[in-house]
A = this chain, B = another copy of it.
Amino acid sequence: MQERRCVLAFLGGTGPEGRGLALRMALAGEQAVIGSRDATRASSAAEELLQVASGKNIQGAENSEAAASCQVAFLTFPYEGQRSTLEALGGALDGKIVVDVIAPMVFQRGRGASALEVTAGSAAEEAQEILPNSQVVAAFQNVSAEELQQPGTVMDGDVVVCSDHAEAKVLVMDLVRKIPDLRPVDGGALANAKYVEQITPLLVNINRIHKIHAGIRIVGL
C-alpha cells in the first residue's frame, strides 16, 4: 500500500468494463483478480487477458474470494446486480476502497440509452449506503470498455472521481494515471457521482449518432 501497489479485485469482472480495467491495471504492474459468481468463468476471463498481457498478474476467483483478498474492489457488473452482490459479500469489503464504475442505464428500442432512476441518487451513493464501513469512490463510468480492452489504444479523456473519503479519492486518482493517457479530475463529493453516471447514457447515444467511442474531457483546468 505504501507504494500504491495492491491487489485490485474486479467484481463481476468478466464483462467488458471489468476485463478492460483489469487488463489496463495489470499492464501497469498491478495485481488484478477478476471476480465472478462462477469461479470457472472468472479463471477463463483471466486466462484470456493473460494472452494479451503475458507475464502480468491476473487471476480469477469467485466474487467473495476476490473481495476478501483485495485492498481495492471495483464494481464492474450491471446496476441490477449491485444490491444483491454487495449484500451477499457481507463484511468482506469492510475497511476497503470500493470503486463504483456502474452507470445505471436501460436501453429501449428507438429511444436508445436512458439513465435509471436510483432512490439513493446514484449507484455510488447506494453502494455507500449498503457498505457503510467501506470507502466508496465513483470513477471510470464514462470510459469506453471497448477501448480499455485494446491495450494499444491511448485513452483520450478524463475520469471524474467523486468520493466523501479524501484519501481513497487520492489513491483512485493515482490508479487512473496508470492508464495512458487518462487524466483524473477531482469531482468533489460522492453526491456528484449522480451527474457523472448520467453522462454515460448521453455518451452511448452520441456514440450511436456518430459511430464512435466517445468520452468526455473537462476543459478549463
**A residues at B contact (CB < 8 Å):** 111-112, 114-115, 144, 156-157, 160, 185-189, 191-192, 194-196, 198-199, 201-203, 205-206, 208-210, 212-221
Residue of B nearest to A185 (CB): B206
- Chain B residues within 8 Å of A213, by CB: 220
Structural contact, A220 and B212, CB atoms closer than 8 A? yes
Q: Min CB distance, A172 to chain B, in Å?
A: 16
- Chain B residues within 8 Å of A219, by CB: 156-157, 214-217
Q: How many Å lie between the Cα of A137 and that of B50 in the bound state?
A: 48
Identical copies of this chain, number: 2
- Chain B residues within 8 Å of A198, by CB: 194-195, 198
Structural contact, A195 and B187, CB atoms closer than 8 A? no
Q: Min CB distance, A116 to chain B, in Å?
A: 13
Structural contact, B202 and A196, CB atoms closer than 8 A? yes
Residue of B nearest to A121 (CB): B114
Contact of A221 among B189, B199, B210, B220 (CB under 8 A): B210
Q: How many Å lie between the Cα of A196 and that of B216 in the bound state?
A: 12
Q: How many Å lie between the Cα of A219 and that of B221 in the bound state?
A: 16
- Chain B residues within 8 Å of A195, by CB: 115, 198-199, 201-202
Structural contact, A214 and B221, CB atoms closer than 8 A? yes
Q: How many Å lie between the Cα of A219 and that of B195 in the bound state?
A: 18
- Chain B residues within 8 Å of A214, by CB: 218-221
Q: How many Å lie between the Cα of A155 and that of B188 in the bound state?
A: 24
- Chain B residues within 8 Å of A196, by CB: 202
Q: How many Å lie between the Cα of A192 and that of B220 in the bound state?
A: 24
- Chain B residues within 8 Å of A199, by CB: 195, 199
Q: Min CB distance, A105 to chain B, in Å?
A: 11
- Can you list 8 pairs linking A and B with CB atoms under 8 Å apart? A156-B220, A160-B202, A186-B210, A188-B206, A198-B198, A206-B218, A216-B217, A217-B219
- Chain B residues within 8 Å of A206, by CB: 160, 185-188, 218
Known: A111-B191, A203-B218, A214-B221. 15 other contacts (CB 8 A): A111-B189, A115-B194, A115-B195, A156-B219, A157-B220, A160-B202, A185-B206, A187-B205, A188-B205, A188-B208, A188-B209, A192-B205, A198-B198, A212-B220, A214-B218
